[in-house]
A and B are shown apart, each in its own frame.
Chain A
Amino acid sequence: MLNNIKIIDLCFFVLISILIFPELSSAQEKFVLGKNELEGFTLSGQGPTHFPIGPNFKVYPGIRQTWLINGKTDGETLIIQYAEFSTSPIAFAAIAYSAIKSSAGSWGWGTSSGSIIGDGTWVTGDESGLFILRGNVGVRAFIPVNYQPTDKHKLLNVTNILLNKIESNLSPEIFAFEDSLKQNQIPTNKYETITESVVNSELMNGFTPHSTWDSKWLVDSTNMAMGIRKEWREGGNTVIGFDICRFESVSAAEQAAEFLGEYSIYSGNKINLETRDSLSKIMADWIKTRMGKNMSILGVMDNIAINIYQYDSTGVDTTSFRALVKEMAEQIGNFNNLRSQQQRPGYGGDTGGLYPETELS
Chain B
Amino acid sequence: MKICLFTLGVIYSLSITLPANAWDYPTSVDVDWIEFNHSSSNNSVDIRVNYSTNITEPEWDNGGSTNEKIAYVKNQSVKVQARFVIQGQSIYSLKVGASSSGFGDLDYEWVLFEDNEGQAYFDCDASVPGTVDIRSFRWDWDYIGVNGDVFVGQPPEYYGPKAIETTGTHTYYTLLGTPQSPMTEPWTVVLNYACDWAANQSTESGVATKITENAYTVFGNSHTYNGYYTKAVPPTFYLTDFLNVNRADCQDMSAIVQVFTKAVGGTNITALRIEGAFAYKSILPVGASQWQTGTWNFHQVGWLLSKVYDACLKLANPVRIPVDENINNEYKPDLFDSGDWEADTSINYTTVY
Give the B-binding residues of A (Cβ under 8 A).
Answer: 50, 52, 57, 59, 75, 100-107, 124-126, 128-129, 142, 144-145, 266-267, 288-289
Asked whether, in the complex, the Cβ of A105 is within 8 Å of the Cβ of B226, the reply is yes
Task: Check if B172 is an interface residue, CB within 8 A of chain A.
Answer: no
Q: Are A145 and B297 CB-contacts (below 8 A) given A57-B235, A59-B233?
A: no
Neighbouring B residues of A128 by C-beta, 8 Å: 228
State which of B228, B251, B277, B294 has its C-beta within 8 Å of the C-beta of A129.
Answer: B228
B296 with A104: CB separation less than 8 A: yes
12 contacts between A and B (CB under 8 A): A50-B233, A57-B235, A59-B236, A100-B297, A102-B233, A104-B227, A105-B249, A107-B228, A124-B228, A142-B228, A266-B277, A289-B295
Q: Does the CB pair B245–A104 fall under 8 Å? A: no
Q: Whose C-beta in chain B lies nearest to the C-beta of A99?
A: B228
Q: Beyond A104-B296, A142-B229: 16 further Cβ-contacts under 8 Å?
A: A50-B233, A52-B233, A57-B233, A59-B236, A103-B227, A103-B229, A103-B230, A104-B249, A104-B250, A104-B299, A105-B249, A125-B228, A128-B228, A144-B247, A145-B247, A266-B295
Do A106 and B297 have beta carbons less than 8 Å apart? yes
Interface contact B228-A50, CB-CB below 8 Å: no
CB < 8 Å neighbour of A57 from B276, B295, B347: B347
- The interface size of chain B toward A, counting residues with CB under 8 Å, comes to 25
* B283 → chain A closest CB, angstroms: 12
Cβ A103 vs Cβ B297 within 8 A: yes
List chain B positions with a Cβ less than 8 A from chain A: 226-230, 233-236, 245-247, 249-251, 276-277, 294-300, 347
List chain A residues, Cβ under 8 A from B227: 103-105
Query: In the complex, what residues of B have CB within 8 A of residue A103's CB?
Result: 227-230, 249, 297
B residues in contact with A75, CB < 8 Å: 246
Q: Collect the chain A residues with CB atoms within 8 Å of residue B246's CB.
A: 75, 145
Chain B residue contacts of A102, Cβ below 8 A: 233
B235 contact set on A, CB distance < 8 A: 57
Shortest CB-to-CB span from B300 to chain A, Å, is 8
Hey, which chain B residues are within 8 Å of A52, CB to CB? 233
Question: Known interface pairs A104-B296, A105-B296. Does A145 touch B245 (Cβ–Cβ under 8 Å)?
Answer: yes
A59 cross-chain contacts in B, Cβ below 8 A: 233, 236
Residues in chain A near residue B249, CB distance under 8 A: 103-105
A179 to B55, CA, bound (A): 58
Shortest Cβ gap from B193 to chain A (Å): 22
| Smallest CB separation, A149 vs chain B (Å) | 16
The closest CB in chain A to the CB of B251 belongs to: A104
- A289: B residues at CB distance < 8 A: 295
The interface residues of chain B lying within 8 Å CB-to-CB of A124 are 228
How many Å lie between the Cα of A70 and that of B206 in the bound state? 47
**Docked CA distance A128–B297 (Å):** 18
| A-side contacts of B245, CB under 8 Å | 144-145
In the assembled complex, which residues on chain B have CB atoms less than 8 Å from the CB atom of A50? 233, 236
With the chains together, A266 CA to B228 CA distance in Å?
13
Nearest CB in chain B to that of A285: its residue: B295
A138 to B300, CA, bound (A): 26
Q: A129-B228, A144-B247, A145-B245 are in contact. Are A105 and B297 (CB under 8 A)?
A: yes
- Docked pose: A328 CA to B36 CA in angstroms: 77
> Which among B226, B228, B277, B298 has the greatest number of chain A C-beta atoms within 10 A?
B228
- Residues of A with C-beta under 8 A to B234: 57
Closest CB in chain B relative to A218 CB, distance in Å: 20
Q: How far is the CB of A147 from the nearest CB of chain B, in Å? A: 10
Closest A residue to B345 by beta carbon equals: A56
CA distance A312 to B297 in the complex (A): 25
Complex interface: chain A residues within 8 A of B298 (CB):
104
Q: Bound state CA distance, A111 and B207, in angstroms?
A: 44
List, in ascending order, chain A residues with CB within 8 A of B347's CB: 57
B301 nearest CB across to chain A (Å): 12
Closest 7 CB pairs of A and B: A105-B227, A104-B227, A57-B234, A124-B228, A104-B296, A105-B228, A266-B277
Q: Does the CB pair B297–A104 fall under 8 Å?
A: yes
A144 with B226: CB separation less than 8 A: yes
Determine the chain A residues whose CB is within 8 A of the CB of B251 once the complex forms: 104
Which B residues are in CB contact (< 8 Å) with A107? 228
Query: Which residues of chain A have C-beta atoms less than 8 A from B226's C-beta?
Result: 105, 144
Contact A129 B229 (CB under 8 A): yes
Q: With both chains docked as a complex, state the minimum distance between the C-beta of A266 and any C-beta of chain B, in angstroms.
A: 5
What A residues does B247 contact at CB under 8 A? 144-145
B residues near A101, Cβ cutoff 8 Å: 297
Q: How far is the CA of A106 from the CA of B295 in the complex (A)?
A: 9
Q: With A and B bound together, what is the CA distance between A106 and B277 in angstroms?
A: 10
Known: A57-B347, A75-B246, A104-B297. A144 touches B229 (CB 8 A): yes
Task: Name the residue on B nearest A106 (C-beta).
Answer: B297
Inter-chain CA distance A242–B346, complex, in Å, is 42
Select from chain B the residue with minimum beta-carbon distance to A124: B228
B residues less than 8 Å from A267 (CB atoms): 277
Least CB distance, B347 to chain A, in whole angstroms:
7
**Chain A residues near B250 (CB, 8 Å)?**
104
Residues of A within 8 A of B295 (CB): 106, 266, 288-289
Report chain B residues within 8 Å CB of A145.
Answer: 245-247
For A101, give the chain B residue with the smallest CB separation.
B297
Please, how many angstroms separate the alpha-carbon atoms of A125 and B226 in the complex? 11
Q: Please indicate the chain A residues that have their CB under 8 angstroms from the CB of B233 in the complex.
A: 50, 52, 57, 59, 102
**Residue of B229, B235, B294 with most chain A CB atoms under a 10 A cut-off:** B229
**Inside 8 A of A100's CB, which chain B residues have their CB?**
297
A106 to B227 Cα, complex, angstroms: 8
Bound CA–CA A21/B226 (angstroms): 33
Kindly list chain B residues whose C-beta atoms are within 8 Å of the C-beta of A104: 227, 249-251, 296-300
Bound form: Cα–Cα A93–B294 in Å = 26
CB distance from B218 to the nearest CB of A (A): 19
Chain A positions within 8 Å of B294 at CB level: 288
Report the bound CA distance from A144 to B231 in whole Å: 12
Partner of B228, one of A57, A126, A288: A126
Residues of B contacting A288 in the complex (Cβ-Cβ under 8 angstroms): 294-295
A100 to B347, CA, bound (A): 20
* A101 to B234 Cα, complex, angstroms: 13
Which B residue's beta carbon lies closest to that of A59? B233
Please, how many angstroms separate the alpha-carbon atoms of A266 and B236 in the complex?
A: 24
State the Cβ distance, B2 to closest chain A Cβ, in Å.
94
Considering the complex, give the chain B residue whose CB is closest to the CB of A102.
Answer: B233
